[in-house]
Amino acid sequence: MELRDHSKVEPLHPIEVRVLGALLEKDLTTPEYYPLTLNALQNACNQKSNRDPVVNYDETTVAQGLELLRQKQLVMKVSGAGHRVEKYAHRLGESLNLGRRELALLAVLMLRGPQTVGELRGRTERMHPFADMEEVEHLLKSLSEHEPDPLVAPATRGRWRHLWSSVEAEPEDEVESGAPRLTLEGRVSALEHEIDELKRQLESFRRQFE
């Protein structure tokens, strides 16, 4: 099957970002268990460690995310000899001509949100051991100049973020460091709003398959 040109970054739904990020991570950290079955991928998406935010996707949600990514040719099914059940693998490296180092950085950004250079170096250690922070900075700069569209961009507080979605800096980034912190009631209200927004996004995502 001929690959379409995916050098241009297509916006992804947050569920697609999590599914793709989980595939990237498992490819780089546990290649002996990769490609992933649907069940294994669901567990990877819903991990409570190394995830921000923590989610609880059901199997149908993950399957729908996979289908959308497959239509964009960012994911493929792996079946046939040696595979009793269907498995799934990402195609990000070949689609965007990226190596292991770049994929490791993208995986952390997709699974954990904006990160500093130091956080990225530490959290990619199992995927690719970077020699120093200068190497990480060099690769981030390269990803930010990716043609025809950049893949990452600087965020606030010295962090970097991926550009798969149109979401800008986190709301907390808009608050000046000297501003008073939210009260407990305010924090609860903000969390409730975030949950409502996630529910709205999930419902919108599922309607695409109706």
Q: What is the CATH number of the domain that holds 77?
A: 1.10.10.10
Contacts of 180 (CB under 8 A, 6+ apart): none
Asked if 57 contacts 104 with a C-beta cutoff of 8 angstroms, the reply is no
Task: Compare 8 and 139 and report the one with higher pLDDT.
Answer: 139
- Report the domain count for the chain: 1
> Is 183 within the bounds of a domain?
no
> Is 207 within the bounds of a domain?
no
pLDDT confidence of 41, banded at 50, 70, 90? very high
Task: Compare 41 and 194 and report the one with higher pLDDT.
Answer: 41
**How do residues 116-146 score in pLDDT, each as one tens digit?**
999 999 999 999 999 999 999 999 999 999 9
59-73, 78-92, 158-172: range with lowest mean pLDDT: 158-172
> Is 1 within the bounds of a domain?
no
Q: Which helix (H) or strand (E) holds 19?
A: helix 14-29
**How do residues 161-192 score in pLDDT, each as one tens digit?**
999 985 544 444 443 334 344 455 555 666 66
> Is 9 within the bounds of a domain?
no
Give the chain's mean pLDDT: 84
Domain range for 59:
14-173
pLDDT of residue 175: 36
Looking at residues 18-44, what average pLDDT do you find?
97
pLDDT confidence of 148, banded at 50, 70, 90? confident
For 44-77, give one letter per residue: b (16+ CB within 10 A) or e: bbbeeeebeeebebeeebbbbbbebbeebbbbbe
> Is 92 within the bounds of a domain?
yes
> Is 25 within the bounds of a domain?
yes
Looking at residues 78-88, what average pLDDT do you find?
78
> Is 148 within the bounds of a domain?
yes
> Is 205 within the bounds of a domain?
no
